[in-house]
Amino acid sequence: MIDTKHLRRYIEELVFAVEHVCAAIDREMAKPSDVERGRRIALLMNALEMQKDETKHFGLGLPLDKPMKRPRSLGGIWRPGLSSAQRDRQLMRLRGQGGM
């Protein structure tokens, strides 16, 4: 059984990392495109990937070498083959329903 306080700490850290990496990527995307910008974005993505792995392994107790199944609560937003427009519409619906 996973301790909920333990799990909550990892989830809070992951949410914090996602928020800050998204904001940092937005700032980078506003800059002129060049090799250095690509390197900085790659570093940000690497940091986010490491935080995700920490949460997956230590927070959820899952192995790092196996991909996770898509949680039902996402409503299929990240389903392969879904267009950006379809994904945007689903996100807007969820936000309108208080789901996000």
Q: What is the pLDDT of residue 4?
A: 84
Q: What is the full per-residue pLDDT of the chain (100 aa) written as tens digits?
A: 668 888 888 888 988 999 999 999 999 999 999 999 999 999 999 999 999 899 888 888 888 888 877 665 555 555 666 677 877 777 777 667 544 4
- Sequence-distant (6+) residues with CB within 8 A of 51 are 13, 14, 17
| pTM for the whole structure | 0.62
